[in-house]
Structure 1
């Protein structure tokens, strides 16, 4: 199943992250503690967050925060959810587990 940019559960997750402060957008990583790829990616995700202070970054363990995901089914890790300040989901899908992917994605989305 592919993730829909209009999925209400993804929009709600994004809205909750954006509510934390005045930022230009948000990047949410949907991962799992048992996933070795996710564990390896986390340090780079944290570095990307430090490099983009005007963007809210959030790490979501899909099992610990299953209620927040509603009916969203994550099949590939890591999966990123990226949205703008307006609450619109601009990207939702798996990415290569390389921190540089986040910067390229943000740039391509104008964030």
Structure 2
């Protein structure tokens, strides 16, 4: 099963700027088989994000082949991110999400979005 982990941020956001290495390090700790990690600037990649309105940065989206497992803002602490990743990658339950969030997950599954260097 393919898993997508996407962090939605903005280039102007200083919290996002300092969070990127934290996000990349936490994702590097995960099993890498069939894992796609995305760092998405919501302004630079507005076509990818579509109508999804991100009010709080950073916002995390975790999706598998069939459903969105998690979508929401996170406090920018490394342990919070690790805890959310472990919990939502281990379970296959769907999260209630709006249509715009589901559409973003669909676009990621189709191969859109840039992955940070490994």
Partners of 1:41 and 1:97 within 8 A in 2: yes
Q: TM-score normalized by structure 1?
A: 0.72
User: Is residue 42 of structure 1 aligned with residue 2 of structure 2?
Assistant: no
User: Cα RMSD over matched residues?
Assistant: 1.5
* Structure 1 residues 38 and 26, CA gap change in structure 2 (3 angstroms): same
Q: Give how far 1:106 is off.
A: 2.1
User: Which residue number in structure 1 is paired with residue 9 of structure 2?
Assistant: 31
Partners of 1:28 and 1:81 within 8 A in 2: yes
Q: Give how far 1:49 is off.
A: 2.0
Q: Give how far 1:25 is off.
A: 1.2
Name which of structure 1's ranges 32-41 and 46-55 shifts more when overlaid on structure 2. 46-55
Q: May I ask how many residue pairs the two structures share in their alignment?
A: 88
Q: Give how far 1:75 is off.
A: 0.3
Mapped to 1, the partners of 2:19 and 2:54 lie a distance apart of 16
Q: TM-score normalized by structure 2?
A: 0.68
User: Is residue 72 of structure 1 aligned with residue 52 of structure 2?
Assistant: yes
Q: Secondary structure at the match of 1:73?
A: coil
Question: Following TM superposition, where does structure 1 have runs of at least 4 consecutive aligned residues deviating by more than 4 angstroms?
Answer: none
User: Is residue 93 of structure 1 aligned with residue 72 of structure 2?
Assistant: yes
Unaligned ranges ≥5, structure 2: 92-118
Mapped to 2, the partners of 1:88 and 1:99 lie a distance apart of 25
